[in-house]
Amino acid sequence: MSKFVSFFKDESGASAAEYALILAIVGVGIVTAAGVLRNSIATAMNSAASTITAS
């Protein structure tokens, strides 16, 4: 029974859950930023591509 109680008192897995939550928040932020900046990124890439081809 003591192993059962110590299992529920063990908090070592909490850090893994916290890292997963941080990773999820950062991932949502990256996806949101890419969606908002989609047209600006496309314009910059096309401008760089046309400059490279013109050289």
What's the pLDDT score for residue 15?
A: 77
Count the helices and strands in the chain (H runs, E runs): 3, 0
Residue partners of 34: CB distance under 8 A and separation at least 6: 41
Give the integer Cα–Cα distance in Å for 2 and 4. Answer: 5
Q: What is the pTM of this model?
A: 0.54
- Read off the tokens for 19: 């890292």
CB 34 within 8 A of CB 41: yes
Ranges of the chain whose pLDDT falls below 70? 1, 4-5, 7-14, 55
Judged by phi (left if over 0) then psi (alpha if -120 to 50, else beta), residue 10 lies in beta
